[in-house]
A and B are shown apart, each in its own frame.
Chain A
Amino acid sequence: MKRLIATTILVSFTLTNSYGHEGFKLNITELENKLLKLKEMHALECSPEEVGKVESYLESLKQDIEREKNEKETVYILKPKQKTDIDYTLTIKNLLTKIEKNIYSDKDKDGIPCYKEIELGLDPNKPDKKEEKIVINYGEENKTENINPSQTEKEIKSSSNPIVQPVRVHFYTNRADIKKEYLPYLNIVAKYLKTHPDTKVKIVGYTDNVGSKTYNNKLALERAKNVKKYLTKLGVNPDRIVIEGIGKDKYIVSNNNQIDKFTNRRAEFYVINLAE
């Protein structure tokens, strides 16, 4: 009995010591990976100050671990983690969420999130009026395609492409209401539809991979419905808007993390010829 108690105490002591140290290490790699992913989403351009702060905290944490390692190697004693060490993981996590917010924020209030502006080669700090032009230009291209009698199948297919990349509305998890930051997009679409009465638009709602297929289909349709509702509120004839909901399918990116899931929860616009 005594032996059993002694061995359990010994095992639990060694386990807690090793777990504490490894857990600390794991956290850092996890945080580093998250920062890397955010950097891929243009975190350096959208939130450079916060990225700098996170990097400085990570550097100091790494240094602490190296110091501990060196001490262990030279002294050969398994030291428990010092009580005086400051764990910055919470601060880093807070900064990472701030970076994530900044990536999706719209500083210049032109309706395009920061990361998208960087991808398009625009300045995230200056409002861009180009978006409206792009939409109109695309529509004009479609128009010329309609007039041309020698229209091939390929050309017809191209006319049902999304209007432009940035005209995409994203949603919160399990919700179908439109975020305020996307209203300027929809205003542009409404304006375009009003000035081009010979075009129809198809709104397709999508979801991420959370939940059942039937529920997601409903949710996707609800999202498309809400966008249609907003456009009709702005004076667009509801007969010119076709809606569709595709749940748990046609993802833009894999659903590995929250950012990817957010990207997949969307509603897209497709221009349709009236002849179609």
Chain B
Amino acid sequence: MIKKTIAMFLMFFGFSLALEKNITTSEYLDEAQKALKIAYENGAHIKAQYEYGKALGFYNIAKEQASNFQTEKAIDAATKSIEWSLKAMEKINKEVSQ
């Protein structure tokens, strides 16, 4: 009985830990995707091609790393992708204000 409870507890602990990690990575990926989508809708692929390309490159890396269970690297890349999407948006807004 005790063995079963310990095993159940360990399984639950491991599962929740994995779930928590996965959610963080996928959340980052979701955010990166959203940022990319917003940048694209604002015309970043035409007006800020370099910045958009960087964001897209980092997003692809994040996806590949996540599918390879390299969560740290995936999160790093997703964060950079968001940063570059924001930079693209900044460039577009500057052009509009000018």
How many Å lie between the Cα of A138 and that of B26 in the bound state? 62
A167 beta carbon closer than 8 Å to chain B: no
One digit per residue, 1 when the CB lies within 8 angstroms of any chain B CB and 0 when it does not, for chain A 183-208 equals 00000000000000000000000000
Q: Which residue from chain A places its CB closest to the CB of B68 in the assembled complex?
A: A84
Please state if A51 and B53 are interface contacts (CB–CB under 8 Å): yes
B65 beta carbon closer than 8 Å to chain A: yes
Please state if A53 and B53 are interface contacts (CB–CB under 8 Å): yes
Please state if B77 and A52 are interface contacts (CB–CB under 8 Å): no
Interface residues on A, range: 10 to 19
Please state if A49 and B77 are interface contacts (CB–CB under 8 Å): no
Stretch at the interface among A15-23, A27-35, A54-62, A240-248: A54-62
CB-defined contacts of A50 to chain B, threshold 8 Å: 53
One digit per residue, 1 when the CB lies within 8 angstroms of any chain B CB and 0 when it does not, for chain A 51-79 equals 11111110110011000000000000000
Please state if B53 and A86 are interface contacts (CB–CB under 8 Å): no
B28 beta carbon closer than 8 Å to chain A: no
B31 beta carbon closer than 8 Å to chain A: no
Please state if B80 and A56 are interface contacts (CB–CB under 8 Å): yes
Give the dominant DSSP class at A's interface. Answer: helix
What is the minimal beta-carbon distance from A93 to any residue of chain B, in angstroms? 14
Please state if A48 and B76 are interface contacts (CB–CB under 8 Å): no
Report B11-70 residues with CB < 8 Å from chain A CB.
45, 49-58, 60-61, 64-65, 68-70
Please state if B70 and A60 are interface contacts (CB–CB under 8 Å): no
Please state if A60 and B77 are interface contacts (CB–CB under 8 Å): yes
Please state if A52 and B53 are interface contacts (CB–CB under 8 Å): yes
Q: A48-B50, A63-B76 are in contact. Are A53 and B56 (CB under 8 A)?
A: yes
One of B54, B56, B68 near A86 (C-beta < 8 A): B68
What is the minimal beta-carbon distance from A28 to any residue of chain B, in angstroms? 15
How many Å lie between the Cα of A56 and that of B78 in the bound state? 11
CB-defined contacts of B76 to chain A, threshold 8 Å: 60, 63
A44 beta carbon closer than 8 Å to chain B: yes
Please state if B53 and A48 are interface contacts (CB–CB under 8 Å): yes
How many Å lie between the Cα of A52 and that of B51 in the bound state? 7
Seen from chain A, the residues whose Cβ lies within 8 Å of a Cβ on chain B are: 44, 48-57, 59-60, 63-64, 84, 86, 88
Given contacts A52-B53, A56-B61, 8 further A-B contacts (CB under 8 A): A49-B45, A52-B57, A52-B84, A57-B61, A59-B80, A63-B73, A64-B73, A86-B65
